[in-house]
Structure 1
């Protein structure tokens, strides 16, 4: 829709309308660039307009639009939930309410309450975290496990890669324990994808796997997402090849 105040004649291009910031006293050049990128990011504006806590909400929305992860009445576990954008999307999609919460999120960071979501302040990598999540679900299994977890980077690429693979491994192990048959699992990965052993393990337990980079994921970011669908519950069938998409 055209803004009536601007009209159509002589409208500046999007490039001309971009906000440019001067480096303020005490603010580094990198901080200024980050702030400028945030101010000019259409997903940031959409997140504010649609009531989501972060632009990351659109990543899981776009993955869901393509892979049909969420259905009404399903139970969802959100690993590394802060600040809560993914939990918000999941709660709206499955119809979770305060009276009947179907979404459980966990993070070691503080989060403001979200309607229809049970939030646990806990480091998922701690030994008792899976039991706490299962208890929060009322002892019922999940239909979808989503994970946007990532360690702070060290700058040493091999170390960072090993750390993210470890997170995916423990998230995948949890998903395999708590998912209902035909359930789905989504996890953040970084450039280089997943290790062969991990991917092979997922193919044994899920009917199909995909590497996805949703449009909301910045082009200059190394992140992508691994989507595993059709949880078998048993490992009788031979694994299928990795699908693109």
Structure 2
């Protein structure tokens, strides 16, 4: 009987140590991300994990190199800024990184109704995903994304979040950021984009590789019409 109790006590201690070690590693991992968020609040990234992944894929397929060039927020067309916010996150200036109602609805659709639904990702969440995380779909990655999005909102201004998103978002196969997209599609700088060009770029963010060849589908046309209407209504950070 004593031996059984000793074994039970030893096992319980072992479990506690494993759990404690896991928690310590988890905290270290989060601190690592928080330090990186702080760093990129002041310095522009030279690339992202997804860019590097795409660069490897394109090199192996003997395709052209990825296109990416950072530009300051003040050098981005105000039409494009409004169009992207209208397209991706109309309440960007109101939330603190996460729209919980959208997350709840996506959870219900995915779990209870057994169908895949968008995760209600805000621009802040998308910036976190593009800058730090993989693009795989999993509940663990989504939880990490939600946590880091709230940290980013605490450490960055809305202007910095949107500036970073616009510079690292994918706009086509190997095309990253608004400057590369503007040059590729319209042969001009991002600062010179007009309204219709800006709306089109914002509209393809939903599936940039699919719409890279400018395929106009009924769904894309509806999205373009909605962006045209909503972009005058949304609030955006000042370009100054």
TM-score range (shorter-chain normalised) is under 0.3
Instruction: Choose between structure 1 and 2: higher strand proportion.
Output: 1
Q: Give the number of the structure whose alpha-carbon radius of gyration is greater.
A: 2
TM-score (normalizing by structure 1):
0.27
TM-score (normalizing by structure 2):
0.27
